[in-house]
A and B are shown apart, each in its own frame.
Chain A
Amino acid sequence: MTGLIGAIEANVLPTPGGGDRQAKKRVGQSPWVRRTLIASAFLLAALLLLLPVVVIFVEALGLGLGAYFDAILEPSTLHAVFLTLLTAVVVVPVNIAFGISAAWCITRFEFTGKKLLITVIEIPFSISPIVAGVAYLFLYGSQGLLGPLLAAHDIQIMFSLPAIFLASMFVTSPFVARELIATMQVQGNEYEEAALSLGASGFRTFLLITLPNMKWGLLYGALLCNARVMGEFGAVSVVSGSIRGQTNTLPLQIELLFNDYSAVGAFAAATLLTLLALISLAAKLWLERHR
């Protein structure tokens, strides 16, 4: 690590005497200031972002490859990976559907309460996930509002997969909607009006005009949503019950292993979550390059 930081410093830090030539220009434009700023940005990024990620891998591999793979192939860790992916597969499409309808509604129609709807959609952004989890508990838990009703019909929502899906959906619902509302507001609805006036049906218009126009926003939102779903801890922690091999997601598994003095196990599981996140990041970069 120090080697990397050293290299960054060597490349970016100013050489002595080089910075005074353009001193008459504005402060922010002097190369010395610029270089210092860039260097400190790199340094901070390395210290705050890159170093922790490197540490995860170093710690995970601390006892050698054999121990690392033993930790990853532990059945409850494998199940946690499966459950985390399953949650993403369930939650992301639902939030895509929700996001499209919400954005369509908000950007293409005028109605009273529109501002209110936009605010409501953004509630999950401003509420701490743990509050969301507790709210679900008060709603669907045995001693909650709907508890007796659910118990009477023998329906178990809390501490089972539906609870994990619901909590994840709540926390990540604004991602697609927000991305799409921004995209669609910029685009306006001239093309759609043209299509409609030329006799296309509403569905055809949606499929051939609206959807292609929103596709980058949609993919970007879905990607953010996906990353957030896989990493969600607070809300899921409250409603999952943490049953190993059944309702323990990858972030919960990491916490459990860490608390239980299994550093290698915890860091190995963390590398898996990090890899999933890096895949999302790579997909995002690819998207940005191809848009």
Chain B
Amino acid sequence: MSLRNLARLGLTALFLTGLVAGGVRAQAEEVAAVSPSGILNVSYDVGRELFAELNPVFQRQWLEKTGAEVTVDQSHGGTSKQARSILEGLQADVVTFNQVTDVQLLHDKGGLIPADWQAKFPNRSSPFYSLPAFLVRAGNPKNIQDWDDLIRDDVAVIFPNPKTSGNARYTYLAATAYALEKFAGDQALATEFVKKIFARVPVFDAGGRASTTTFVEREMGDVLITFEAEVQGIRKEFGADRFEAVTPSVSLLAEFPVAVVDKVAEKRGSQAVATAYLDFLYSPEAQDIIASHAYRVTDAGVMQRHAANFPEVRLVTAEDVFGGWEKIAAEHFASGGLLDRAFVNQ
């Protein structure tokens, strides 16, 4: 390569840099100028396909109603990280999370949403919900039906590490709730029961996705515990004939809370469309799409149509059994708390 060519290369690179820098600035201005025509939905990590199907429907409805085009951009990730990003300036107009506590952070740490955010939309601002359920191998060879089966000597159980995974914390709480009922509220016996389940877990992965890999591809364990909605996704991706979903008799309600991030929406003037978007999630049309992605919804008519996919289950709530998420954090998940006592020696 001659010197002249090198110089030419350098000049071209410089030119491109300038071009790009200009483009970036133009884009930044554009975003600032037309922001109300688009909103950003910051969401949890495995909701990509669900919202990819929901958003075009909302855009069409909004166009019919107001005559204005609107786009809904998506950001997906673990909700603790997402909440942190919003606190640090990610311009989210709405959040659709899978952990109540991570929405609460937006109020507690940044004052971005009001304290009573759960009263802003129906059903405690949770347009759909799910529950920890079981996925077993085809034919259910170990005949696993309920939480009691998980402490059997011949059963290996797979779920992620409850110290690092929100998904596994739901599993821990659901198992504890079941045991508290079984032992008439005796916390010591319940902890003992959960400890026995932990003893049946050959490997604790860091997150839900890694546990799925352990169960599906490394073929370890007899039962994978994860959200019912994911159980369906796994069957779809890895083969419905290889796995069966089993719904235990009792499980814990897992809410999927939503909120308009007021501070951001006010600044961008997007409050009307952001609110309309979250309202839309409660409409029969949206609820039907949501139910087809294996989340349970509150619309009775929609649930009836999808009844075959949602076996009967008695759901208890974090509030009723444990006195709310704040108390759970202090009593169960704090260092040295009840989880640590059950998780000892793991």
Question: For A94, what are the chain B residues with a Cβ–Cβ distance below 8 Å?
Answer: 17
User: Which residues of A (149-197) have their CB < 8 Å from a CB of B?
Assistant: 151, 154, 156, 158-162
- Chain A residues with CB under 8 Å of B76's CB are 242, 244, 256, 259-260
**Of A96, A141, A158, A262, which one neighbours B13 at CB under 8 angstroms?**
A96
Q: B7, B20, B40, B45: which contacts A90 (Cβ < 8 A)?
A: B20
Q: What's the minimum C-beta distance from B3 to chain A, rounded to whole angstroms?
A: 5
Question: At the interface, yes or no: A211 with Cβ under 8 Å from chain B?
Answer: yes
Whether B48 and A260, one on each chain, are in contact in the complex, defined by CB atoms closer than 8 angstroms, is: yes
A112 CB within 8 Å of chain B = no
Please state if A261 and B234 are interface contacts (CB–CB under 8 Å): yes
- The segment out of B88-96, B122-130, B147-155, B303-311 that lies at the interface is B88-96
CA–CA, A260 and B49, complex, Å: 8
- Tell me the complex Cα distance, A160–B91, Å: 10
Q: How far is the CA of A244 from the CA of B233 in the complex (A)?
A: 21
Whether the Cβ atoms of A212 and B3 lie closer than 8 Å is yes
The chain B residue with its CB closest to the CB of A74 is: B52
Q: List 5 A-B contacts (CB under 8 A).
A: A92-B13, A143-B110, A158-B88, A207-B3, A246-B73
CA distance A208 to B6 in the complex (A): 12
The distance from the CB of A247 to the nearest CB of chain B, in whole angstroms, is: 8
Residues of A within 8 A of B105 (CB): none
For A90, what are the chain B residues with a Cβ–Cβ distance below 8 Å? 17, 20-21
Distance in angstroms from A217 CB to nearest chain B CB is 12
Cβ of A144 under 8 Å from chain B? yes
Interface residue? A243 (CB, 8 A):
yes
Question: B289 within 8 Å of A by Cβ?
Answer: no
The yes or no answer to B63 lying at the interface (CB within 8 A) is no
Question: Taking CB as reference atom, which chain A residue is nearest B13?
Answer: A93
A125 interface residue per 8 A CB criterion: no
- Find chain A residues with CB under 8 A from B33 CB: none
Tell me whether B87 is interfacial, beta carbon within 8 Å.
yes
Q: How many residues of chain A get a CB closer than 8 Å to chain B's CBs?
A: 43
Interface of A is mostly: helix
- Interchain CB contact under 8 A, A89 and B88: no
A 202-245 to B, binary, CB cutoff 8 A, 1 in contact else 0: 00000110011001001100000000000000000000011111
Q: Select one of A93, A219, A246, A258 contacting B14, CB under 8 A.
A: A93
A14 touches B (CB below 8 Å): no
* Minimum CB–CB distance for B17 against chain A, Å: 5
Evaluate contact between B209 and A259: CB separation under 8 angstroms: yes
Complex: how many Å from CA A154 to CA B16? 27
Say yes or no: is B317 at the interface (Cβ < 8 Å to chain A).
Answer: no
How many angstroms from the CA of A86 to the CA of B16 in the assembled complex?
10
Flag if B236 contacts A243 (CB, 8 Å): no
Q: Does B24 contact A (CB under 8 A)?
A: yes
Q: Please report the C-alpha to C-alpha distance between residue A158 and residue B88 in the assembled complex, in whole angstroms.
A: 8
Contact across chains for B24 and A162 when beta carbons are under 8 A apart:
yes
A147, B3: Cβ atoms closer than 8 Å: no
Residues of A within 8 A of B1 (CB): 215, 219, 290
When A and B form their complex, which 8 residue pairs have the shortest distance between CB atoms, in order from nearest?
A: A141-B88, A142-B89, A261-B237, A93-B13, A159-B90, A260-B48, A241-B90, A243-B75
Closest-by-CB residue of B relative to A94 is B17
Asked if residues A161 and B89 are in contact (CB atoms below 8 Å), the reply is: no
Residues of A within 8 A of B10 (CB): 93, 96
Q: Cβ of B220 < 8 Å from any Cβ of A?
A: no
Which residues of chain A have C-beta atoms less than 8 A from B77's C-beta? 242, 256
Closest to B24 in A: A161
Question: What per-residue 1/0 map shows which CB atoms of B51-89 lie under 8 Å from chain A?
Answer: 000000000000000000000011111000000010111
Using A256-B48, A260-B46 as known contacts, say yes or no to A243 and B73 having CB atoms under 8 A apart.
yes
Known: A159-B88, A259-B209. 17 other contacts (CB 8 A): A89-B16, A90-B21, A93-B16, A142-B88, A142-B89, A156-B91, A159-B90, A159-B91, A207-B3, A215-B3, A243-B75, A245-B73, A256-B77, A259-B45, A260-B48, A260-B76, A261-B237
In the docked arrangement, what's the CA distance between A291 and B91, Å?
49
CB distance from A262 to the nearest CB of B (A): 8
Give A183 Cβ to nearest chain B Cβ, in Å. 14
In the assembled complex, the Cα of A211 lies from the Cα of B24 at a distance in Å of 31
Instruction: Give the residues in chain A near B236, CB-CB below 8 Å.
Output: 261
Task: Write the chain A residue with the least CB distance to B1.
Answer: A215
Contact status A243-B74, CB under 8 Å: yes
Q: How far is the CA of A154 from the CA of B91 in the complex (A)?
A: 12
- The chain A residue with its CB closest to the CB of B267 is A154
Chain B residues lying within 8 Å of A262, measured Cβ to Cβ, are: 48-49, 237
The reply to whether A258 and B209 contact each other, CB–CB distance below 8 Å, is: yes
Q: Of B46, B90, B91, which one neighbours A261 at CB under 8 angstroms?
A: B46
Report if A263 contacts B (CB, 8 A). yes
User: Which chain A residues border B49 with CB–CB below 8 Å?
Assistant: 260, 262
In the bound complex, CA of A18 to CA of B94 (Å): 73
Closest-CB distance, B213 to chain A (whole angstroms): 10
- Is the C-beta of B184 less than 8 angstroms from some C-beta in chain A? no
CA distance A222 to B6 in the complex (A): 13
CB neighbors of A among B233-279 (8 A): 233-234, 236-237
- Chain A minimum-CB-distance residue to B233: A261
A244 to B74, CA, bound (A): 6
Note all chain B residues with C-beta closer than 8 A to A241: 42, 75, 85, 90
Residues on the B chain within 8 Å of A159, using CB = 85, 88-91
The answer, yes or no, to whether B335 is at the interface (CB within 8 Å) is: no
* Nearest Cβ on chain A to B58's Cβ, whole angstroms: 16
Contact with A along B169-205 (1 / 0, CB 8 A): 0000000000000000000000000000000000000
Q: How far is the CA of A89 from the CA of B89 in the complex (A)?
A: 26
Please measure, in the bound complex, the distance between the C-alpha atom of A104 and the C-alpha atom of B336, giving whole angstroms: 56
* Residue of A89, A143, A156, A243 contacting most chain B CB atoms (<10 Å): A243
